[in-house]
Homo-oligomer: A and B are copies of this chain.
């Protein structure tokens, strides 16, 4: 979320941020005006509009006067890195400019990350194309866990099963086949799914 801001805009959000931290409430437009030595409310409104456009500020409903601002996308308390796009049978596409995805804060942990789901291979388990899955990095899994599985360097989302000393990876979509792991394939677990988030 590294939007570069012009110095003036930067100064604006810095002010909002520190005011909020100090006073435990966001500033009013007049307070910003005074603090930043600007002489018109129109100007403040212009800044707010611009910064809203790029997603750095957000208006909350409300309290003072009409609305209130809060600085957003800066201290993102409940965000996890969005590391990539995971698909059925295709390599994990890794995102370079790590974006972030907001998650319930109970999921926030240094070992966790988020992947965006690409294909329909887990559809019948209620993990749809476009969903975000929260992954916990781990090398082991229990029967029935949904895991990020690396098979010959392809990453997929599958259900993990271990029976009769054989590992099987079950897609949850009749169109896809079960993968059986034998000695000839290079296999490892990348993590297990802790949760799913879908935004409409």
A127 close to chain B: CB less than 8 A: yes
Tell me the complex Cα distance, A62–B128, Å: 34
Q: Which of A4-12, A30-38, A89-97, A181-189 contacts B (4 or more CB under 8 A)?
A: A4-12
- Which residues of chain A from 110 to 150 have any CB-CB distance to chain B below 8 Å in the complex? 110, 123, 125-128, 131, 145-146
Flag if A126 contacts B198 (CB, 8 Å): yes
A197 close to chain B: CB less than 8 A: yes
Given contacts A7-B25, A68-B4, whether A110 and B198 have CB atoms under 8 Å apart is: no
Most chain B beta carbons < 10 A, residue from A102, A110, A123, A125: A102
Report copies per complex. Answer: 2
Task: Mark each residue of chain A from 60 to 72: 1 if its CB lies under 8 Å from any CB of chain B, else 0.
Answer: 1101100010100
Flag if A110 contacts B61 (CB, 8 Å): yes
Flag if A6 contacts B78 (CB, 8 Å): no
- Which residues of chain A from 147 to 200 have any CB-CB distance to chain B below 8 Å in the complex? 193-200
A104 close to chain B: CB less than 8 A: yes
Tell me the complex Cα distance, A25–B2, Å: 11
A105 close to chain B: CB less than 8 A: yes
Most chain B beta carbons < 10 A, residue from A106, A123, A125, A127: A106
Select which of B63, B68, B77, B101 is within 8 A of A77 by beta carbon: B77
A103 close to chain B: CB less than 8 A: yes
Tell me the complex Cα distance, A9–B102, Å: 29
Select which of B63, B110, B127, B131 is within 8 A of A4 by beta carbon: B63
